[in-house]
Copies of this chain bind each other. A is one copy, B any other.
Amino acid sequence: MLVAIDCIIFGFDGQHLKLLLIKRGFEPQKGRWSLMGGFITNDETLDYAAARILKQLTGLTYIYLEQLYAFGDPYRDPTERTVSVAYFALIDINKYEEQISHEYSAEWFPLKRLPSVIFDHKDMIEMAKEKLRYKAAFHPVLFELLPEKFTLPQLQTLYEDVYDAMIDKRNFSRKMLSTGLIVKQKDKEKNGSKKGAFYYKLDKRKYRAKFDAFLNLIPNPQSLK
């Protein structure tokens, strides 16, 4: 019996939440899109294997990585009985090194326009989206997708895309600021608008301290599942 890891890698380009997929370079299913994955070696933990595989594709280390679910349908991989432990990863898309991706012919896809993927990877992606929404409704995990400096409008766009909903900006900024998690900077981002929007930084100390607490980050969490 084989044990594999598959990584659902989320990124945010300022407009939309995206997923990183690779084009399989080998049979079976050569040429089709797939999650980044691999088999675990004999002396590594699952977490370690996921981090190793993620590094191979993106070049990134110290990534937010969380175990999602173990998928074990006996025929999920038609060639061999493989149990796959799926992880989801949140990365700052700007830190992602392009050249490494080209080795693997990787590509970012907006969540709404995903190509068809091999095996049960579609189920994995669906579950990852659901879990991300669930988690982000209470924990400030979406900051993992942003660069060090970001603006409130950028942050709001991210939440709006994750929840596919419009959010009132006055309520949003009040709620965010009231968490004490973000710190206003002196400089502004000037590309997005004429007036420019102030940058904010995450207060990493408070972020770690409050990560497990319950924040009410989105309006009407009733709408989740």
A residues in contact (CB < 8 Å) with B: 1-3, 40, 42-46, 49, 67, 69-74, 81, 83, 85, 212-214, 221-222, 224-225
Contact = CB atoms under 8 A, between A and B. Distances in A.
A214 to B, nearest CB: 5
Nearest to A74: B43
5 contacts: A42-B74, A42-B81, A212-B225, A213-B222, A214-B221
Prevailing SS type, chain A contact patch: loop
Number of copies of chain A assembled together: 2
A3 B81 CA distance: 11
A224 B71 CA distance: 28
Nearest to A76: B45
Contacts of A222: 213-214
A83 B84 CA distance: 11
Contact of A1 (B2, B69, B73): B2
A146 B51 CA distance: 41
Nearest to A69: B67
Nearest to A220: B214
Closest 6 CB pairs of A and B: A46-B72, A70-B70, A212-B225, A70-B85, A43-B74, A214-B221
Contacts of A1: 1-3, 40, 42
